[in-house]
A and B are shown apart, each in its own frame.
Chain A
Amino acid sequence: MRRSTRRELEGLTELVVDGVHAAAAEAERAHAAIARYPYAILTRVTPLRAPVRAVEFVQQTITGIVYRTIHVAADVAGAVVATAIAVRARRHEDQE
């Protein structure tokens, strides 16, 4: 593997990982804003306020975990790909 090819593959991996992080962050922001609408309406009904807040908390916790999982998975996948590129490059150097 040529050095420039390795650099480009590493760059592409970093770009994809950063892209996933940025897209997940934007999607989470939009998701949270949209999800807030029905809760905002329902909490105006006094008897429903407490259970709705409880449901909102559970929903926010679950979606937060899902988005955090996406971030972690992106980092792990990025690290695996970067390692694979490094191993492949080293094997190529040894062959030469």
Chain B
Amino acid sequence: MTHASDYARRVGVKPRWRGRGISILNGVVGDYLDRRVNGLAIAMAFVQDGRPLAVTAQGLRAAQPALSRKLVILVHGWCCDETVWRFPHEAATYATKLQVDAGYTPFSVRYNTGLPVGQSGQDLARLLRALIAAYPLPIDEIVLIGHSMGGLVIRAACHVGSETGDRWVDAVNRIFYIATPLDGADLARFAHGATLALSVLPNPIARLVGNVLDVRSRGVKDLRTGGSVASDGESGSTALAGLPWLASATHTLLVGTLTGNPHNLVSKTLGDGLVRVPAARDGRLKAPADVTVFPGLHHLQLAHDAAVYAAIRRRCTTKG
């Protein structure tokens, strides 16, 4: 019998702990790693079986023997990698399940979650442009599924794609934002407030703790407001929360609560542990969005849960 780690070594797949460790490092100090061109910095890519996928017609055919005209693309959240989508005790993800149930061709993105959300959005737009150019079949439909920060990156990519007139944008017809802090996360706001407070206290230890807290990446700092994208022709930036929603797509927010009762104080205050339901339902969203709440599912569980998948499949197999 071959041990799993032996197999991983033979085919060149990193052990899971190593991949996760690198993803966490990228989430915490990814902007520094990128700036220093450090070997641990993750470059955005589609990945399959733990390895980057060559975005060429040949590479795509080799990776997916049965390509279809419908694509589903998964974008993970902060400090995670594509393994966050795996169901417990099986290799399936929402994307591979959609392949079996509805004929979609699955893709998973891996990226440096410590980079600003706007920059990751630009990278994703570029990656999707390359995918469309290399894809051997015409594409009828693209479904984008983002977990947590991944939803913000998708929103930024759609904005960039719309601004530059990318072809892939026209094919996007459904976007799922799973546990996405569309207008910011309370925990990130708390960290920002704590850093500010500690830095103004006239105490060297408090300032030291504040400085250590401030080391966190620009990606995680973006979670305070929901991120921003560079404004066209200006040096400033525009908050993602204030941008129009991609008109060609339907937008669905899937959020969880820590307790079984979404109306009790714990659920209302903490949401899924990181993202509150009211944040997702905030009036500022003003989107043709439908919101589904999954009581009893915490932030990470939402990335690989049967009930969440059922909600996604229902929408993907329904016309309109």
Contact = CB atoms under 8 A, between A and B. Distances in A.
A11 B21 CA distance: 13
B38 A14 contact: yes
A9 B40 CA distance: 8
Given A7-B39, A8-B18, 15 more contacts: A2-B12, A6-B39, A8-B22, A8-B39, A8-B40, A9-B39, A10-B39, A12-B40, A15-B25, A15-B38, A18-B36, A26-B212, A27-B208, A33-B204, A34-B205
Nearest to A22: B215
Interface in B201-240: 204-205, 207-208, 211-212, 215
B208 A29 contact: yes
A18 B32 CA distance: 10
Contacts of B125: none
Interface of B (DSSP majority class) = helix
B274 interface: no
Given A8-B22, A15-B25, A15-B33, A26 B39 contact: no
A11 B38 contact: yes
B102 to A, nearest CB: 35
A76 to B, nearest CB: 20
Contacts of A9: 39
A2 B13 CA distance: 11
A15 B40 contact: yes
A26 B38 contact: no
Interface string A47-91: 000000000000000000000000000000000000000000000
Given A2-B12, A8-B22, A14 B36 contact: yes
A30 B39 contact: no
A30 B207 contact: yes
A33 B204 CA distance: 6
Instruction: Indicate the size class of the contact surface on chain A.
Output: 10 to 19
A81 to B, nearest CB: 13
Most A-side CB within 10 Å, residue of B22, B25, B33, B208: B208
B29 interface: yes
A22 B22 CA distance: 20
Contacts of B212: 26
A27 B207 CA distance: 11
A29 B18 CA distance: 34
A30 B208 contact: yes
B314 to A, nearest CB: 40
B59 to A, nearest CB: 18
A30 B204 contact: yes
Nearest to B36: A14
Contacts of B12: 2
27 contacts: A2-B12, A6-B39, A7-B39, A8-B22, A8-B40, A11-B33, A11-B38, A11-B39, A11-B40, A11-B41, A12-B40, A14-B36, A14-B38, A14-B39, A15-B29, A15-B38, A15-B40, A18-B36, A22-B215, A26-B211, A26-B212, A27-B208, A30-B204, A30-B207, A30-B208, A33-B207, A34-B204
Interface string A1-25: 0100011111110110010001000
